[in-house]
Amino acid sequence: MRGGLAKYAVLALLFILAGVSTGLFLTVREISDVGPVDTWMYERSGRDESSDEALQLSRRTAIVRSAQRVGPATVSISATGTRLVRAAPTAQEEFFRRFFGGFVPGRVYEEERHTFGSGVVIDTDGYILTNEHVVRGFEQVEVVLTDGRSFVGNVLGGDPRYDLAVVKIDGNDLPVAPLGDSNDLMVGEWAIAIGNPFGNLIGDRQPTVTAGVVSAVNRDVISDDASPAIYKDMIQTDAAINPGNSGGPLANSNGEVIGVNSFIFSMSGGSEGVGFAIPINTARNVIDEMIQYGRVRDIWVGIAIQELTPGVADRLNIMDAQGVLASFVEPGSPAYRAGIREGDIIVAVNRDQVMNVRGARRAIFGARVGDIITLTVRRGVATLEFEITVEEAAK
């Protein structure tokens, strides 16, 4: 009996222990179930907040940051002027010309003309860089900032060969765009074109931003024969450049100006993804000259060159017709003092091969007073190299 009771007591104790352990297990399980749910909800809520913040940060792309840095310094330029225009002869004037002979000129009158373009403030003193063709021949220039302030612009200087001009305004707290290094460009990197192509028509001074890539560098573009501009080492971009963008900045992803938007190749008149900008390093040299001298000083080397045609080569008994002929070297000139002589064949400028007169002229384009130009020449069977220090041409 006592043994049976002991047996039952043991069984009861086991049941009690089983119940306690089951309860403990359930308690632990419930806590573990509830805990992860609360944590999951908290973490999910946290992820939502951080995701919103991350989304906002993701919107501020390199393009946005570049536009925010350069955009405020981008200006609208409107120029106004007059020109003399000869009207076509009237029917009466044409009648007299036909029956009585002689020249009957049409009426001459003044025509008012306007142009719009863009520019970029490059100095707190109010110096603005733009294209020369934007302000060429205009008497009045107005500059409008993105904050709405309007200024009378004074054209310090412009050079049609470079198609660059510097306009000066007098103002306080002017936004300035930082200048980059166009020699450090990589094909394929971001290119952001900023300007005000139609802002003057819609009354909005805020600049327009288009983005693309640097499609190519060091492009030499042959301009129209009627144009004095020489477009050398140009930056090609597929960022849309439209009328009115001329003179505006081309920026990189760091928010630095790397070029001056100048023109496009187009069959339709609109942007087709082939735009060109003048490198900012070329512009730097022009800016310095214009601010200091009001113009880009003409250089003097003292060599007249001509094409080395097969006929000329045959007459001079030259077997290799590569290069250009130094047909005249001015006595006492920088070239003469360096050792260049009439009859020398110039085959390279600054160690870059030249094939014709156009190539030779383009090779020295951009040289400033005081620069050193290296000419490689053939004289008989010898190949010689000379260094010429460029001087300012007499006025």
The catalytic position among 163, 233, 238, 344 is 163
Q: Is 114 a catalytic residue?
A: no
The catalytic position among 182, 246, 262, 271 is 246
Q: How far apart are CA 247 and CA 364, in angstroms?
A: 24
Q: How far apart are CA 107 and CA 87, in angstroms?
A: 5
Tokens of 28: 């632990």
Q: How far apart are CA 88 and CA 72, in angstroms?
A: 46
Contact 99, 110 (CB under 8 A): no
Closest CA to 190 of 94, 303, 288, 70: 70
Main-chain phi, psi angles of 100, to 5 degrees:
-115, 0
Contact 392, 298 (CB under 8 A): yes
Main-chain phi, psi angles of 95, to 5 degrees:
-60, -45
Side-chain-facing half-sphere of 111: CA atoms under 13 Å: 9
Q: Is 372 strand, coil or helix? A: strand
**Sign of the CA dihedral 327, 303, 296, 277?**
positive
DSSP-assigned beta bridge partners for residue 237? 214, 275
To the nearest 10°, report the CA torsion of 146, 147, 152, 157: -40
Main-chain phi, psi angles of 47, to 5 degrees:
-65, -35
The catalytic position among 78, 118, 133, 262 is 133
Q: Is 32 a catalytic residue?
A: no
Contact 151, 170 (CB under 8 A): yes
Contact 159, 294 (CB under 8 A): no
Closest CA to 138 of 120, 117, 170, 115: 115
Q: How far apart are CA 152 and CA 245, in angstroms?
A: 20
Residues serving a catalytic function are 133, 163, 246
